[in-house]
Amino acid sequence: MFDNLSDKLSRTFRNISGRGRLTESNIQDTLREVRRALLEADVALSVVRDFISGVKECALGMEVNKNLTPGQTFIKIVRAELVRVMGDEKSALNLSDEPPAVLLIAGAQGTGKTTSTGKLGKYLREKQKKKVLLVSADIYRPAAIKQLAILADTVGVDFYPSDVTQTPINIVTRALNHAKINFYDALLVDTAGCLHVDEKMMAEIIAIHTAIRPAETLFVVDAMTGQDAAHTAKSFDQALPLTGVILTKVDGDARGGAALSMRHLTGKPIKFIGTGENTDALEEFYPARLARRILGMSDVLSFIEDIERKVGVITPKKLSSTFNTDDVFDLNDFLSQIKQMRKMGGISSMISKLPGGSRLPDNVKSQMNDQALVNMESIINSMTAKERAAPNIIKASRKRRIAGGSGMQVQDVNRLLTQFNDMQRMINKLKKGGVAKMIRTMKGIIPPGFSSH
């Protein structure tokens, strides 16, 4: 989402990094480029003005730390201002109400509202350990109720049935009573898509809000609409008091204007961002982490959380027991590693959060596309059980058969086998005593008790 903005800012900061000191002249030149980059990212003009003013004021009044270069000091100021514009601190959900805490999900049609409701249900069940109930009050879109019912089943939470013959008020009041009687921790209410200019639909959602008195009223907006998403949320908030925003489709080609404009224009925090179609592609919004990613500084903490959430926590003891066995690392194990990488969002998602990932050349990034994982999985799936267990038997005739079965070329099969052999050699080294060293290295990079904020 922020690739273009990150590239432009990186080029801009390179120009000031070599300067011996910060002056009003070189600050002004740099800020002019920063301003252009933000406007091209579709950040609202009022936000850009406030941001530039804040950076200039801090830069001219700050003494340069003797341990930092003037360029590093300037980047530090820009990062602090980005965090301030996006909201300083992470804004957590308010679940302190007497159970069940009601979360009302609103937004225009097509923004990913129903999908976000399902994702949020999974987040509350898995991360917050809550007993969750979903209900759909959308009686206007034929497939809305069925879609949410399927999502609820997929993510492992309960669904309160409703149908188009009922009124939305009747649906939500019944669902709330059911949630109270059955001791649910949270009730998530998916409403019909509407805009603030639609008086009839707005009157309906206001009536729902009055009837159930939600602890959270979350507005779902599409990041692809840029700063217009923030203006839409602001207008909606004037009719219905919002408590936060869920920004969807941030994995697309959006330029970043929505994320950078939202808090400033609406006064409402972004609480979650949708990063893909999968039900686990919902992340808590940390302004400080996103600022680091925008500036090309990586987001290692989010990367670690991806591993813990989608793959599982790997402790040193568990890691040691895995590699200390006499089992041979074969193509079945290699396939398992590929599937885990895909669960974590693929190569591009992982690289974007690692140090230096955003600064990789375009030709290198293009080779690290997620389709490569799909192709590798397809090749291994075209092998027999015997071939996966003993890859050394895969000679020319077998390679041709595997290539034909997977729709790939023989050279693709050769490439996969080479990558597998490299992985196998690394695993063998770890089995010979490298595990302890690797664990010590990991501990040195990530100290115990690190902050996730």
Neighbour tally for 332: CB within 10 Å: 12
Q: Are 135 and 160 in contact (CB under 8 A)?
A: yes
Coil, strand or helix: which one is 252?
A: coil
What type of residue sits at position 50?
D
On whether 110 is known to bind a ligand per the annotation, the reply is yes
On whether 30 is known to bind a ligand per the annotation, the reply is no
Per 3-state DSSP, what percentage of the chain is helix, strand, and coil (rounded to 5)? 60, 10, 30
On whether 251 is known to bind a ligand per the annotation, the reply is yes
On whether 299 is known to bind a ligand per the annotation, the reply is no
On whether 113 is known to bind a ligand per the annotation, the reply is yes
Pairing of strands 270-274, 158-160: unpaired
- In eight-state DSSP terms, residue 104 is E
**Angle at the Cα of 33 from the Cα atoms of 28 and 37, rounded to 5 degrees:** 140
On whether 114 is known to bind a ligand per the annotation, the reply is yes
- 208 alpha carbon, distance to own chain's centre: 30
On whether 189 is known to bind a ligand per the annotation, the reply is no
Q: Are 81 and 233 in contact (CB under 8 A)?
A: no
On whether 28 is known to bind a ligand per the annotation, the reply is no
What type of residue sits at position 35?
R
On whether 249 is known to bind a ligand per the annotation, the reply is yes
Q: Is the bond preceding residue 100 a cis peptide, omega within 30 degrees?
A: yes
Coil, strand or helix: which one is 85?
A: helix
Helix ranges restricted to H, 213-370:
227-239, 257-266, 287-294, 300-310, 316-323, 331-343, 346-352, 362-367
The closest alpha carbon to 316, from 424, 440, 448, 428, belongs to 440
What sign results for the dihedral spanned by CA atoms 49, 54, 55, 56? positive
Q: How far apart are CA 11 and CA 382, in angstroms?
A: 45
Structure tokens belonging to residue 378: 């397809």
**What is each CA distance from 341 to 212, 297, 412, in whole angstroms?**
41, 22, 19
What type of residue sits at position 245?
V
For residue 63, the cross-strand partners are: none
**What is each CA distance from 40 to 43, 191, 254, 312, in whole angstroms?**
7, 34, 11, 39
Output the known binding site.
107-114, 248-251
Residue ranges for the known binding site for GTP are: 107-114, 248-251
